[in-house]
Amino acid sequence: MSRPEVRIKDLHKSFGDNHVLRGIDLEIAQGEVVCVIGPSGSGKSTLLRCVNLLEEPGAGKVFVGGCEVTDPDVDIDAVRRRIGMVFQQFNLFPHLSVTGNLTLPQRRVLRRGKAESARIAAEHLARVGLSEKADAFPAALSGGQQQRVAIARALAMGPEVMLFDEPTSALDPELVGEVLAVMRMLADEGMTMMVVTHEMTFAREVADRVVFMDGGVIVEEGRPEQVVTAPRHERTRHFLSRLLDPAMAEVEPERPQGAGGDGPSPKRPPDPGLPDR
């Protein structure tokens, strides 16, 4: 295995009395695709958001490319330039064209010129199959197209690591495939990816490793054929049986406060840049 691109050591996070992450240890190698699965409230999204400090851990350390993200003296803006993140919602500027949504962050954050940012935007729109939508506005796009624009926007910043937080959960089922196809392409190209998802086919076919979380801890991790197809732990088997056959699900009692979960209403994701005035 190549050097770790992401390294998480004894990570803890609480929202008030709710201990969401309880000592997470995880490494992601350069070029590796890791899918994080688990029930709602298990801490998956909070873990992802701690990697680029959208949530500040209560304890523990996070390293990206050898740089400690959790160091109080770190230049977090410089670190975030190396990390692309795609959220459940698309967070596109509705008053800007597709090209404008891709060029604005480049110009404001990376200080690229207008021509260079437009050239790079065009390259990445072509990668996600949306060259013909360069002049369209978000309202004219389907949900799947908007999410592909969001992926292209992240890629245009030149990240070394891509984080995906349930990128298909807001999409109609018939639009999921086009987004997953782009993610497969990135995996084939060797992009380091950490993906929170419920798409088990994607996890089974694309991931190098699957991590199952519950109650703020990693219960099981391993190759997809082991975790998804033949899980060792009863909790993993129970989760997958409910996910793959929802008709067999039974109502479970609510967990008491502090028994894990993703906390109260999470912070809104940051805007990718400020709109032109």
pTM as predicted: 0.87
Q: Which of 50-59, 167-176, 216-225, 257-266 has the least mean pLDDT?
A: 257-266
pLDDT of residue 250: 55
The structure tokens listed for 233 are 């732990």
pLDDT in tens, 114-136: 999 999 999 999 999 999 999 99
Band (pLDDT 50/70/90 cuts) for residue 243 is confident
Element (H, E) at 145: helix 143-156
- Residue 265 predicted with pLDDT over 60: no
Mean pLDDT score across all residues of the chain: 89
pLDDT of residue 253: 53
User: Which residues lie below 8 Å from residue 188, measured CB to CB, with a gap of 6+?
Assistant: none
* Residue reference for tokens 């350390």: 61
Angstrom distance (rounded) from CA 44 to CA 216: 8
The structure tokens listed for 144 are 């799947």
Q: What is the mean pLDDT of residues 145-166?
A: 96
pLDDT of residue 103: 97
* Coil, helix or strand at residue 19: strand
pLDDT in tens, 69-114: 999 999 988 888 899 999 988 889 999 999 999 999 999 999 999 9
pLDDT in tens, 226-240: 999 999 999 999 999
The strand ranges marked E within 136-216 are: 161-165, 192-196, 209-214
- Residue 197 predicted with pLDDT over 60: yes
CATH code 3.40.50.300 region(s) in the chain: 1-82+161-247
- Residue 51 predicted with pLDDT over 60: yes
pLDDT of residue 260: 43
Q: Please tell me the CATH superfamily of domain 1-82+161-247, with its number.
A: P-loop containing nucleotide triphosphate hydrolases (3.40.50.300)
Band (pLDDT 50/70/90 cuts) for residue 257 is very low
Tell me how far the alpha carbon of residue 177 is from its chain's centroid: 17
A 10 A CB-CB count for 270 gives 12
